[in-house]
Amino acid sequence: MKILIIGGAGYIGGVTTHYALAQGHEVTVADNLATGKAHNVPPTATYIHTDIRDRDDIAALFVGKDYDAIMHFAAKILVPESMEKPYEYFETNTVGALNIIDAATKHGVKAYILSSTAAVYGAATHVPLQEDDPCLPVNPYGASKLLTEQILRSYQITHDLKWTALRYFNVAGAYNGVGTDYPFVSHIIPMLLEKTKNGEPIIINGQDYDTPDGTAIRDYLHVLDLAKAHMLAAEKMLSGTELNQPINLGSQQGYSVKQVADTFNEVTGANLPITYGKRRAGDPPKLIASNERAKQLLGWQPEHDLRTIIKDHYDWFMAKN
């Protein structure tokens, strides 16, 4: 396949770029390096500096190119920041995506895969979450992604665009030298790595949830499992399967925050002390994804357990530091 990876210098996009190349595909990476890193782009990929908010930049991506599939990862992803700067989130995540989607339809791209998020569901009232559950995002980040999904559906209707939106939850792990090389820390496992580096205790927010150990339960996936799901989706669509719907990617079991902290200490030998603070406002007790649709439509299920996720991420972090 000839694949255009938008945001391919970032974390998940970078891993997907490496995995796609390892599978023998031809990859072009478009990224403005706002948070992505040039060293995440292998020399065997074609790199084009691109700002998806600039329609001239996007037009240049298609000059002399004929892509089979587009995988769109580029986005702003920090929920608290989205509450402070909603314009920037809609400008990048929605308008930027619209620019790419419109260009894709004009150039006959056969498969468009959006990196979406569990944030489209909003405050979950039950688990596991299914794709047909109500989507009522509670922050601009989730809203910007849901709007992009709706744009894809509209272009399916008006231009017969083939698409899917892969909604995933907490992503961790590393692959082939690519990890969470962001200028910020936004998820628990990278946060635990920073705690190890700084010799600080683990602080768990909330010990009184209605869960077996009182701490919140979340769904965790290895970044390589996500990359494989993107490739499977592209292969299915290019072989004639019409997806044209969102698909959850999750473990369908979840782990509590304390389980993650305990497993982290066991796997890494860090033995960080665990303390407890108050709940964070708006945190639901459980967020777990149903992955039945992914199994049925893609033949996908996660292959890496929590210990492997943590070990791979830790090994990458220690090599980097």
| Together in a domain, 208 and 265 | yes
What is the rounded CA–CA span in Å between residue 113 and residue 227? 11
Q: Which residue has the tokens 């389980």?
A: 259
Rounded to an integer, the average pLDDT of 106-128 is 93
Rounded to an integer, the average pLDDT of 17-38 is 97
**CATH code (residue 294):** 3.90.25.10
Beta bridge partners of 245: 164
Give the total number of structural domains in the chain: 2
**CATH code (residue 68):** 3.40.50.720
Bond from prior residue into 140 cis (ω within 30 degrees of 0): no
Q: Domain containing 306: what range?
A: 173-218+252-320
Domain termination residue (choose one: 230, 249, 268): 249
| Together in a domain, 125 and 211 | no
What is the rounded CA–CA span in Å between residue 40 and residue 15? 8
Spacing of C-alpha 3 from chain mean position: 18
| Together in a domain, 167 and 177 | no
Q: Which residue has the tokens 């796609």?
A: 20
Report if pTM > 0.75: yes
Of the candidates 141, 168, 175, 314, the residue annotated as catalytic is 141
Report the pLDDT value the prediction gives residue 111, as an integer from 0 to 100: 97
Q: What is the mean pLDDT of the chain?
A: 95
Query: Among this protein's residues, is 11 annotated catalytic?
Result: no
Decide: 161 and 178 in contact? Cβ < 8 Å.
no
| Together in a domain, 112 and 210 | no
Confidence band, pLDDT 50/70/90 cuts, at residue 281: confident
> 104 CB contacts (<8 Å, ≥6 apart)?
67, 70, 112, 161
Q: What is the pLDDT of residues 172-207, one digit of tens each?
A: 999 999 999 987 777 899 999 999 999 999 999 999
| Together in a domain, 156 and 188 | no
Q: Which residue pairs from 275-278 have beta carbons closer than 8 angstroms and sit at least 24 positions apart in sequence?
A: 275/201, 275/202, 275/203, 275/204, 276/203, 276/204, 276/205, 276/206, 276/207, 277/203, 277/204, 277/205, 277/206, 278/205, 278/206
| Together in a domain, 45 and 160 | yes
| Together in a domain, 233 and 277 | no
Start-to-end CA distance of the chain, whole Å, equals 36
Residue 84 has pLDDT above 80, yes or no: yes
Report the pLDDT value the prediction gives residue 170, as an integer from 0 to 100: 92
Q: What is the pLDDT of residues 227-274, one digit of tens each?
A: 999 999 999 999 999 999 999 999 998 999 999 999 999 999 999 999
Confidence band, pLDDT 50/70/90 cuts, at residue 321: confident
| Together in a domain, 204 and 226 | no
| Together in a domain, 197 and 161 | no
| Together in a domain, 211 and 287 | yes
Rounded to an integer, the average pLDDT of 36-54 is 97
Residue 213 or 282, more confident: 213
Q: What share of the chain is helix, strand, coil (3-state, %, to 5)?
A: 40, 20, 40
What is the rounded CA–CA span in Å between residue 151 and residue 147? 6
